[in-house]
Structure 1
Amino acid sequence: MRTYLIIIPARANSQRLPGKNMKMLGDLPLIGHSINFSRQVGFEEITVTTNDFEVATYAKSKDVNVIHRPDELAGNQEPVISAIQHVLESVVEEYDAVILLQPTNPLRPVTLLKEAIQIFEEENCDSLMTVSRNEHKLGTIINNRFTPYNYKMGQRSQDLEPLYYENGLLYIFKTELVQEGRLLGDNNYPLIVNHPFAEIDIDTEADFKKAELYLNHFK
């Protein structure tokens, strides 16, 4: 079996929801849900990359390895791959693959991590990402005119062509892929997750309120 490192990226200075990574969701700060999720299946190889002192202090209190992310790798426009590469350059051990857990997706089905790793091993993937089925009738607007994109007017929703969206719950990448500057390989496996938790991706206060409702409902 491959060796895996879980990386949780949690930069400071969120523009739309300041301090969100330490904002309390139920009994835990937002980042605590990703840490707990990892440990539910016995993972201890967990690293938080952050430029936020409060996040770093909390992670260390949970016996999680912390890598200080330089400010130049923590800007709003900086891609997450640069933070992952920085972690891999900073840790002493070598790992076959990286599991990325974003704090902004705090609610995940309990069995998801085990299932994802099993598929990653069996399929010998370069990468794996979680996706969910899109149920919306989508279209474009050009010059104030709406043009259906994935359906015909009057078509039933259940007859739509299956389309999927990236839900952000979990990613796995081979380390060599990340070192090449890529996150998705040629052999990328889309793991379909049809669970209400896939709808939660926290960027705003409204997203946070929705997460609280889901957390309480699905306890």
Structure 2
Amino acid sequence: MKKYLVLIPARKGSQRLPGKNMKMLGDLPLVGHSISYALKSGFYDIFVTTNDPDIVQYSSKRNVKVINRPDALAGNEEPILTAVQHAVASVEKGYDAVILLQPTNPLRPKSLLRKAIEVFEYENVESLMTVSRNEHKLGTITDNRFIPYNYKMGQRSQDLEPLYFENGLIYIVSTKLLKKGSLLGNTNYPLIVDHPFSEIDIDTESDFEKAEMYYEFYKENNSD
């Protein structure tokens, strides 16, 4: 099995939902859900990269290693790639790949990470990301006219060409690829996830409220 570094990027300074990475979803903050998921999946080389003192304190209490991210690498316009590269360069041990778990995707199927690793290794790819099917009839609006984009008027939904969206649940990236300056390689495997958790990506208060509903439903029904 390859050596994996589990990385949780959790900067401060969200504009649309201030303090979101420490916002409580159930009995854990968002960053805590990704930490717990990694631990329950059997990983212990878990690092949180952050410039938020509250997240540093919380992560330390969870016995998770912290990488102090410079503010210059934590701005709203800064790509996640630079934070990941900084984190990899900061650790002492050598790793074959990085597992990226974003706090804004706190709900994940229990077995998804193990499945992702199996596929990543079996397919021998540079990177892997989780995707989900988009079954909406999409279109553009020009001069107050709706113009279908991925279908023809009257076409049945079940006859649409399959399209997929990047759901953000899990990314796996080889460290060799990161050194080349990329998160997604030419051999990037799209792992399809057919689960309602793929709909949760928290950027706004309404996103968070939806996550709360999903969290309570699956907790009460004791299901994955």
TM-score (norm 1): 0.99
Q: Match of 2:135?
A: 135
Aligned residue type for 1:3: K
Once the two structures are TM-superposed, the CA of residue 175 in structure 1 deviates from its matched residue by 0.3
**C-alpha distance after superposition, 1:142-174 (max 9, x if no partner):** 222221110000111111100000000000000
Q: Match of 2:163?
A: 163
Counterparts of 2:85 and 2:142, CA distance in 1: 40
Once the two structures are TM-superposed, the CA of residue 179 in structure 1 deviates from its matched residue by 1.0
Counterparts of 1:121 and 1:87, CA distance in 2: 22
Determine whether 1:90 maps to 2:90: yes
Counterparts of 2:115 and 2:203, CA distance in 1: 27
Q: Match of 1:188?
A: 188
Structure 2 residue ranges without an equivalent (≥5) = 220-224
**C-alpha distance after superposition, 1:65-92 (max 9, x if no partner):** 1000000000000000000000011110
Counterparts of 1:141 and 1:93, CA distance in 2: 51
Aligned residue type for 1:200: I
Determine whether 1:8 maps to 2:8: yes
Counterparts of 1:126 and 1:91, CA distance in 2: 21
Counterparts of 1:193 and 1:161, CA distance in 2: 18
Aligned residue type for 2:12: A
Aligned residue type for 1:9: P
Aligned pairs (5 A) from 1:39-118: 39-118=39-118
Once the two structures are TM-superposed, the CA of residue 141 in structure 1 deviates from its matched residue by 1.6
RMSD of aligned alpha carbons: 0.6
Aligned residue type for 1:23: K
Counterparts of 1:41 and 1:182, CA distance in 2: 26
Once the two structures are TM-superposed, the CA of residue 140 in structure 1 deviates from its matched residue by 1.3
Aligned pairs (5 A) from 1:199-214: 199-214=199-214
Determine whether 1:32 maps to 2:32: yes
Q: Which runs of 4+ in 1 moved over 4 A?
A: none
Stretch deviating more after TM superposition (173-182 or 141-150): 141-150
Counterparts of 1:41 and 1:77, CA distance in 2: 32
Secondary structure at 1:218 match in 2? helix
Q: Match of 2:222?
A: none
Counterparts of 1:215 and 1:71, CA distance in 2: 32
Secondary structure at 2:184 match in 1? coil
Stretch deviating more after TM superposition (138-147 or 16-25): 138-147
Structure 1 residue ranges without an equivalent (≥5) = none
Once the two structures are TM-superposed, the CA of residue 207 in structure 1 deviates from its matched residue by 0.7
**C-alpha distance after superposition, 1:72-113 (max 9, x if no partner):** 000000000000000011110110000000000000000000
Determine whether 1:20 maps to 2:20: yes
Aligned residue type for 1:93: K
Counterparts of 1:65 and 1:179, CA distance in 2: 22
Once the two structures are TM-superposed, the CA of residue 205 in structure 1 deviates from its matched residue by 0.8
Percent of aligned positions with the same letter in both sequences?
67
